[in-house]
């Protein structure tokens, strides 16, 4: 799905072009680490790193059912996932906004498990059982997908802020 591309000239060099979606997509597909931001029941933020995979225009991550992010998502599915470089003048930083929806279809989960296994060279090796990922030690992880409502790309060095909006019938997108 091709998003609508907008450049916000207030936050960058007016001479810099917007970042092409293909460049942003490459970062989404290859980034090894993302930071997820969720909201606790008392309104405080919770931020933690995690691996994620991009598949079928969605970002996927997993977590234990008792972990703080899963507890937060049960109350409020809205998330921001960020990735990029910690360098000032090099790289592309991304923010993906959307709602996290649990994935329970075993066929889809098997496909996602293959993506995790391949992307992380076996460091994340899951089997699928009863709508969850299973670890070798028997532990379970629930899987979520985030269909982006908005992605922000912050190009460094040339300093351009690009916003991608995704078509939707949902009122919150």
Specify whether the CB–CB gap between 77 and 133 falls below 8 A.
no
Bigger pLDDT: 149 or 86?
149
Q: What is the pLDDT of residues 79-92, one digit of tens each?
A: 999 999 989 899 99
Q: What is the pTM of this model?
A: 0.92
Q: What is the pLDDT of residues 35-46, one digit of tens each?
A: 999 999 999 999
Give pLDDT, residue 170: 44
- Say yes or no to pLDDT of 64 above 50: yes
Helix (H, G, I), strand (E, B) or coil at 64: coil
Tell me the CA distances in angstroms from 28 to 24, 36, 56, 98, 141, one per residue in order: 6, 14, 12, 14, 22
Q: Which helix (H) or strand (E) holds 12?
A: none
8-state DSSP, 119: H
Could you give all domains of the chain from N- to C-terminal order, each with its CATH number?
4-102+141-165 (2.30.110.10)
Q: What are phi and psi of 15, to 5 degrees?
A: -85, -15
Buried b (16+ CB within 10 A) or exposed e, 64-74: eeebebbebbe
Q: How deeply is 55 buried, as exposed, middle or buried, from its count of CB atoms within 10 A (0-12, 13-18, 19+)?
A: middle
What is the average pLDDT score of the chain?
93
Spatial separation of the C-alpha atoms in residues 111 and 69, rounded to whole Å:
23
């Amino acid at each position: 799905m091709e998003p609508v591309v907008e450049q916000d000239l207030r936050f960058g060099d007016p001479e810099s072009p917007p970042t092409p979606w293909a460049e942003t997509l490459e970062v989404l597909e290859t980034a090894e680490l993302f930071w997820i931001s969720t909201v606790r029941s008392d309104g405080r933020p919770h931020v933690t790193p995690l691996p994620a995979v991009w598949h079928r225009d969605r970002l996927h991550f997993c977590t234990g059912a008792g972990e703080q992010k899963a507890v937060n998502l049960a109350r409020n599915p809205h998330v921001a996932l960020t990735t990029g470089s910690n360098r000032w003048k090099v790289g592309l930083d991304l923010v993906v906004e959307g709602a996290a929806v649990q994935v329970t279809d075993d066929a889809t989960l098997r496909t996602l498990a293959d993506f995790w296994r391949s992307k992380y060279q076996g460091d994340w090796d899951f089997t699928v059982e009863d709508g969850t990922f299973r670890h070798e030690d028997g532990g379970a992880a629930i899987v979520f997908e985030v269909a982006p409502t908005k992605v922000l790309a912050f190009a460094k060095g040339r300093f351009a802020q690009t916003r991608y909006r995704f078509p939707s019938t949902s009122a919150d997108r």
